[in-house]
Amino acid sequence: MSRATKLSLRIVFSLALLGVVLWKIPLGEFLSHLGGVDLLPMFASYLLIPIMGYIDANRTKMMTDLQDMTLSVAHIVRINFITSFYSLFLPGYLAGGVIRWHRLARHDGKPAQALAIVLFGRVISTLVSVAIGFGCWALDVQARAVPLYGLALAALFLMLLFAYWLLFSSSARAKSLADFLLRRRWVPGIVASKLGKVLQSGGRFDQLGARRLGATVGLLIVHELIGITSFYLLAVALDMPLSFISVGWIRCYIMLITLLPLTMMGIGVRDGSLIVLLKTYSIAPALAVSWSTLLLGRTFVLGLLGGLSELWTLWRERSRPTTGDTPA
């Protein structure tokens, strides 16, 4: 099956899911909720997006420094926003990680190190997100009425913790894994070699030390709390009966679900998931889908920032003097 066919199928699947959701809710009620949106908290929510991007770039900068890469914070901010732009056309946010890897790798010509950074960042950021989500669920009396939500987060946290221990906590363990792959006849030599380089690059993160690892986790916590605030402000804009704590664990689930390469921009999947999750608070499906629509707006804001960043990058590259030219 060609890539174009797969993309077309995912677009059709996204639209079909969205169509089912809209068919199941009263359209008039949905439009009424959107028409009554309080614009002040909505715009305040969207203004937090570049702040989150800057915090995330500072965290990534510590990772690139450890891998002897020369990216600046400003460059990483642009890469992250550009990734968000291209993710608009890709199924799931995990697919956008390929774009991010390519942009990181081409700056210093270090693909293995760039992939290790992307994987490390994804694992540790998801660990922190799930930990905060579980904490919010545990503090929410109504949410605890559905134990499955908490158990699923706890199980995922343990799996991610094991992945972190296996891949990033010891350079010696990473080298052992790389050597193991090289000795397996069923693993093609070129694959084993490239994976070995990624594993050994990942093993270098054991050199972070307690101070830098603490700073990394601290930045992630701040990033997550601002993200929850952004989601909460959109709930306030719709006058939804949700507390900050409630939004905390719901946001965790939505971020996890939209990571999966199921639909474009999470359309349909996010809407249906919110309808199910918000039943915990007896919130009507129309209001749940209205919130989902405002959350989709965050995705478009990110994409807009990414598009502007890409235009600026292209203009900068074109304005550079070609070889043999004398700079002005």
108-132 per-position pLDDT tens digit: 888 888 888 988 999 999 999 999 9
Q: For residue 27, which amino acid is it?
A: L
Query: Residue 102 falls within a domain, yes or no?
Result: yes
Q: Is the pLDDT of residue 46 over 90?
A: yes
Q: How many domains does the chain have?
A: 1
Q: Which two tokens stand for residue 305?
A: 């920032």
Looking up tokens 């999750």 gives: 277
Confidence of residue 320 (pLDDT cuts 50, 70, 90): low
DSSP-derived secondary structure for 173-238: HHHHHHHHHHH-TTS-HHHHHHHHHHHHHHHGGGGSHHHHHHHHHHHHHHHHHHHHHHHHHHHHHT
- Distant-in-sequence, close-in-space partners of 58: CB < 8 Å, separation ≥ 6: 73, 219
DSSP H or E segment with residue 310: helix 285-319
Query: Residue 165 falls within a domain, yes or no?
Result: yes
Query: Residue 227 falls within a domain, yes or no?
Result: yes
* Burial of 189 (C-beta count, 10 Å sphere; 0-12/13-18/19+): exposed
Query: Residue 317 falls within a domain, yes or no?
Result: no
Domain with 35 in it: 3-311
Q: Is the pLDDT of residue 174 over 90?
A: no
DSSP-derived secondary structure for 76-140: HHHHHHHHHHHHTTSBSHHHHHHHHHHHHHHHHT-HHHHHHHHHHHHHHHHHHHHHHHHHHHHH-
Mean pLDDT taken over the chain: 85
* Whether the Cβ atoms of residue 177 and residue 145 lie closer than 8 Å to each other: no
Q: Is the pLDDT of residue 232 over 90?
A: yes
Query: Residue 324 falls within a domain, yes or no?
Result: no
Query: Residue 327 falls within a domain, yes or no?
Result: no
pTM: 0.85
Query: Residue 285 falls within a domain, yes or no?
Result: yes
Confidence of residue 22 (pLDDT cuts 50, 70, 90): low
Query: Residue 325 falls within a domain, yes or no?
Result: no
Higher pLDDT, residue 157 or 86: 157
What residues pair up with 91 in beta bridges, in sequence order?
264
* Whether the Cβ atoms of residue 64 and residue 117 lie closer than 8 Å to each other: yes
First to last CA, the chain: 50
